[in-house]
Amino acid sequence: MSWLTSRDWAAGFRGNKVLLGLLPILALLILYLIVAADRNAINPAEKITPMPSAMLEAMWTLVFEKDQLSGRYLFWSDTLASLQRLGLGLGISTLTALVVGLLLGVLPTFRATFGMTVTSIAVIPPIALLPILFIVFGLGETAKVALIVVGIAPFMVRDLAAYIGDLPREQIVKAQTLGASTWQLMLRFALPQAMPRLIQALRLSLGPAWVFLISAEAIASDIGLGYRIFLVRRYLAMDVILPYVLWIAILAALIDWLLAESSRRLYPWAHGSEH
């Protein structure tokens, strides 16, 4: 894919490219192990850089044993709760972006009326709105999902609207000379053209979405990956925090990969000539 390399090179080395990408991660892990082993040798009660064995031990309880207080498998309940919030937030944002972005991009009247509102909302730092969300929606799930939506939807809307607005004018004229009405123009031209871009905007929003999720969970929650991390921070429990962070990274990468792959499958035309 890289423009520096020829296609043959890329094809021949595709397998090796993954290995190549893993090298720096491996190097970081080894570096951590060296530092951790060193510190643990000096102080067996070391908490900041736990050895993998300590992490496994701490995580074992969370993953495979029911919590005595709540009767839940904490690790899985945390994951489920966080993914549910994230999924809802991403879903609502995507749908909003699609509908509002399409209308803003296609209909000049709509853009003139609501364009400024969307921009104004987009420039407000979402975290500054969190207290309002908590006051309005209470401390429950709604406020957390709302924070994600408020955080990423305006960016996605604006990105999509700008993209649709920039679609070649010739294509719109061409569609009209082929008899397309405004509705058909939206349904058959703007919508399909927008989809790959929407997925791309969603992928770019994944990072911020996680930030808002963890923030909301850290401030007011009783379950969730972010909540757990901030809870055990009080005990300097790096043996839980580090595996949790790793788990979040894996989840985020997996979602990103799924989105990229589905875009390639569903919209091959948007991904160059290498179908």
Partner 1 sequence: MSAALSLENVWVEYGDKIVLERINLDIDEGAFVSVVGPSGAGKSSLLKLVLGQAAPSRGKITLDGAPLKAECTPERGVVFQRYSVFSHLTVLGNTIFGLECEAAPIAGRLFGLKRKAAVERATEMLQAVGLGDALNLYPAQMSGGMQQRLAIAQALIKRPRILLLDEPFGALDPGIRADMHALITKLWREYSLTILMVTHDIQEAFSLGTRVLTLDKSRVDPHAPNRFGATVVYDLSLDRKIAREAELAGQQVDKTQSGVEELTSLPPESSITIDTICNK
Q: Comparing C-alpha atoms, which of 194, 129, 132, 191 is closest to residue 159?
A: 194
Q: Do 102 and 160 form a contact (C-beta atoms < 8 A)? A: yes
Distance in Å from the first CA to the final CA of the chain:
13
Q: Closest CB to partner 1 among 155 and 267?
A: 267
Q: Closest CB to partner 1 among 53 and 181?
A: 181
Cβ at position 168, least distance to partner 1 in Å? 4
Cβ at position 272, least distance to partner 1 in Å? 7
Distance CA 195, CA 167 (A): 13
Say which residues have a Cβ less than 8 Å from residue 250's Cβ, sequence separation at least 6.
none
Q: Tell me: does residue 177 bind partner 1 (CB under 8 A).
A: yes
List the one residue from 53, 182, 184, 262 that touches partner 1 (CB under 8 A).
184
Q: Tell me: does residue 178 bind partner 1 (CB under 8 A).
A: yes
Q: Do 240 and 225 form a contact (C-beta atoms < 8 A)? A: no
CA distances from 189 to 7, 172, 174, 210, 269 (A): 31, 8, 11, 32, 14
Cβ at position 100, least distance to partner 1 in Å? 21
Cβ at position 157, least distance to partner 1 in Å? 21
Question: Which range binds partner 1 by CB under 8 A, 148-156, 170-178, 222-230, 235-243?
Answer: 170-178
Q: Can you give the binding site for partner 1, defined by CB under 8 A?
A: 168, 170-171, 173-181, 183-184, 187-189, 192-193, 267-270, 272-273, 275
